[in-house]
Amino acid sequence: MAQTSVNAARQIPLTCSGHTRPVVDLQYSSVTADGSYYLISACKDGNPILRDGKTGDWIGTFLGHKGAVWGARLSKDAAKAVTGSADFTAKVWDTYSGEILHSFTHGHIVRCVDFSADGSKIVTGGHEKKLRIFDLKQPTEEPVILEGHTATIKAVLWDHLNEVIISASDDKTVKVWDTSSLSVIKEISTEQPPTSLGLTIDGQSIAITFGKTIQFWDVKSYELKKSFDMEYEVSSVSLHPDHSRFVVGGTSDLWVRIYDYETGKELEVYKGHHGPVHTVSYSPDGEIYATGSEDGTIRLWLTIPGRSFGLWQPRREDSDAEN
């Protein structure tokens, strides 16, 4: 059972507007060659948005889907984006021009997407209960299909370090697929359908949420490293790059909560959103984290409240008090 604390720090997040319906998926890019990084969001309004990762400033909106967008991911170099939608398509975009590079039609809603390490392939999953691997160098060729799930696939990720694909399904399983043999090499059972699946920023752990449970698994041994039971239904989790803490969002909870990774003790709790928090993500440098909500907003929070970073600058009275 995760321990709780009544101590709550105070901070005012940056609010990123632009979406008109619930924000259901967020992802930060890796740090690019010039030291910058980006944030992409998927929303039920059908218009995924690319932002500056440090400031939340709008860079562009990808226009072309005709239904809710459930998943959005950036390639390792942030030059391309891929999105999955209720319009039965997955689209690959040029992040510089905003143009559609490829559009892949499916037989049902696409819930999740991801890129291979070199950005030459994508993997998709959704209501058809199948994973599809598309080669962007040969986009007209039939995709490779991986079958084995018996219910909607809600999340998928391409583990670049181990060259495996990991998928989470409403059939209460998380499957690890070898990309060479195209076979399942590990299956993790969950007591309830998984609500999120992610890799830690260093690529060493898999984070899984289901029901009121958060689990972290080792990506090499696939052994359970940590398990925490919350007092509320969990929607998403993200582990800080230094593995000291993790941020949690709840399916019916308006609060953003931070916990100690070793003990499970609640360290911080914040109210800012006006609807449940569907998705959370730490930035690659660990300085900030982003939360996306049913209220249609994205909020950016400082990992260390009061610290000067990006658009966050200490208030004059705070500075005076320190002198």
Chain segment 199-240, per-residue pLDDT in tens: 999 999 999 999 999 999 999 999 999 999 999 999 999 999
* pTM, full prediction: 0.92
Task: Give one DSSP letter per residue of 71-115, joined into a string.
Answer: EEEE-TTSSEEEEEETTSEEEEEETTT--EEEEEE-SS-EEEEEE
State both tokens at 259. 């916990």
DSSP bridge partners of 50: 40, 60
Residues of the chain with pLDDT under 70: 1-9, 308, 310-323
Within 10 angstroms of residue 202's Cβ, the number of other Cβ atoms is 13
CA 36 to chain centre: 18
Closest C-alpha to 259, from 299, 209, 191:
209
| End-to-end Cα separation, the chain, in angstroms | 42
pLDDT on residue 253: 83
Q: Which residues contact 304 (CB under 8 A, 6 or more apart)?
A: 287
- CB of 275 closer than 8 Å to CB of 22: yes
Q: Which residues contact 261 (CB under 8 A, 6 or more apart)?
A: 226, 239, 240, 243, 244, 245, 246
Residues constituting the chain: 323
DSSP bridge partners of 234: 250
Give all strands (DSSP E) within 148-233, no chain letters: 153-159, 164-169, 173-178, 184-189, 194-199, 205-210, 213-218, 224-229
pLDDT on residue 319: 38
Q: Is position 38 within any domain?
A: yes
Q: Is position 27 within any domain?
A: yes
pLDDT on residue 313: 61
Q: What is the rounded radius of gyration, in angstroms, for the C-alpha atoms of the chain? A: 19
CATH number of residue 26's parent domain: 2.130.10.10
pLDDT on residue 5: 45
Closest C-alpha to 157, from 268, 82, 52, 46:
82
Q: Is position 1 within any domain?
A: no
Query: How many whole angstroms separate alpha carbon 195 and alpha carbon 198?
Result: 11
Q: Is the dihedral of CA 246, 198, 60, 276 positive or negative?
A: negative
DSSP bridge partners of 256: 270
- The domain in which residue 263 lies consists of 14-302
Q: Is position 228 within any domain?
A: yes
State both tokens at 8. 């709550």
Q: Is position 177 within any domain?
A: yes
Query: How many whole angstroms separate alpha carbon 192 and alpha carbon 169?
Result: 10
Q: Is position 125 within any domain?
A: yes
Q: Is position 245 within any domain?
A: yes
pLDDT on residue 37: 96
Q: Is position 2 within any domain?
A: no
pLDDT on residue 314: 53
pLDDT on residue 18: 95
Burial 154-180 (b: 16+ CB within 10 A, else e): bbbbbbbeeebbbbbbbbbbbbbbebe
Please give the tally of structural domains in the chain: 1
